[in-house]
Amino acid sequence: MEVNCAGCAGCCIDWRSLDEDGPDHERRGPWRPLDDTDNFLALTRDEIRAFLESGLGDALTPRLWEGDGGDDGDGLEIDGHHVATVAGRPAFFVGLRKPPKPVAPFDLAEPRWLPTCVFLDPTTLQCRLYDDDLFPAECEEYPAHNLTLEAETECERVEDAFGGDRLLEDDPGDVDGLLLGPGAIGAKVFAHPRPEDLEGVVERAAREELSWADRAEFLAVAAASSPGTIAVSESHYDRGRERALEADSWVGAAIEAWHDRCDGDERPEAELARVIEDRRGAPGTPGWDER
Ligand code: SF4
Ligand code: SF4
């Protein structure tokens, strides 16, 4: 897809606070995310396994949903939340974490603390995974899936809010990896086989206070899932949980440091990324000439 991404990063950032009249597109319908993140990037089972095997499990987090389910779903009561289910099991995505980072997208004069994908370099507004096998398919394809589904794209939202041309073509062409309906189960939408184990966890998810063991539990179930079914492989579960609990990459340390800086009311300066990410081993970004 031809898009003008330089200085944008609209699909990598939760920028609702810059456009309070904009649509809260992830919170429509009978099921709403338990967390308050926007532009949550859901990964496939194989991508989750690859992150875990690369020691980057600390970049990942689950998303659950709650609501009344409308006509489509029964749900389960856990910790006072009516949680969305698949075949009676709590349903969840796994995606990339978004700590607060000092970013200045859309030609803002000064950086602001905004929830930002853990792999976005705040100084270049480019992805640190562009040249990596771990670059998620959803990011590679964006915004083709939205266009195929006739859903508004983040590029268009940025144009509406800040002007300029971001979406340079509107034909998505042939799209790979569009997982919908039953085909998504076990491949992108996962089902936790032991709802009783999630007591306490659901409330922590709603408060965005999941422990590392909580996250590891969801990552292990996702990694052990089987596309098209709700089956969970015990051996893959054990392997996934072990890899998740072992994860100790630059990403996890950087996320903690970003939260500390933001909570400490530090002035948001993009150059902080040199200390917080680069010196911990974050890969560099290619520059716009190379894209
Ligand atoms: S919102 Fe569109 S133009 Fe902006 S970075 Fe994402 S794909 Fe590129
Ligand atoms: S992985 Fe890269 S392209 Fe995808 S949301 Fe994160 S920073 Fe953006």
The C-alpha atoms of residue 75 and residue 72 are separated, in whole angstroms, by: 10
Q: How much is the pLDDT for 291?
A: 47
| Helices and strands, counts by H and E, the chain | 9, 12
Confidence grade of residue 71 (pLDDT, cut at 50, 70, 90): low
User: From the CA of 121, how far away is ligand 2's center (Å)?
Assistant: 10
- Look up residue 44 and give its DSSP letter: P
Please work out whether the CB of residue 161 comes within 6 Å of at least one atom of ligand 1.
no
**pLDDT confidence of residue 156:** 94
User: 1 pLDDT exceeds 60?
Assistant: yes
Question: What pLDDT sits at residue 171?
Answer: 82
47 alpha carbon – ligand 2 mean position (Å)? 13
**Residues near 63 by Cβ (< 8 Å), separated by ≥ 6?**
33, 34, 35, 37, 40, 42, 92, 93, 94, 95
Atom in ligand 2 nearest the alpha carbon of residue 129: 2
Summarize pLDDT for 87-101 with one digit per residue, the tens.
Answer: 999 999 999 999 999
Check: CB of residue 188 under 8 Å from CB of residue 45: yes
Q: Using CA positions, which residue lies closest to atom 6 of ligand 1?
A: 11
Q: Where are the domains of the chain?
A: 16-282
Convert 64-109 into a string of H (helix), E (strand) and C (coil). CEEECCCCCCCCEEECCEEECEECCEEEEEEEECCCEEEECCCCCC
Question: Cα-atom radius of gyration of the chain, to the nearest Å?
Answer: 19
**pLDDT above 60 (res 243):** yes
CB 179 within 8 Å of CB 148: no
* Pocket of ligand 1 contains residue 11 by CB under 6 Å: yes
Task: Look over the chain and give the mean of its residue pLDDT values, rounded to a whole number.
Answer: 92
**Burial letters 117-151, b for 16+ CB under 10 A, else e:** bbbbbbbbbbbbbeeeeeebbbbebbbbbbbeeee
SS3 category, 242: helix
- For ligand 2, residues with CB inside 6 Å are 12, 41, 96, 117, 119-120, 127, 129, 136, 139
Which residues, at least 6 apart from 175, have a Cβ–Cβ distance to it below 8 Å? 141, 144, 145, 148
Could you tell me which of 245, 247, 273, 244 has the C-alpha nearest to residue 258? 273
Spell out the residues 6+ positions from residue 170 whose beta carbon is closer than 8 angstroms to its own.
147
Model's pTM, two decimal places? 0.94
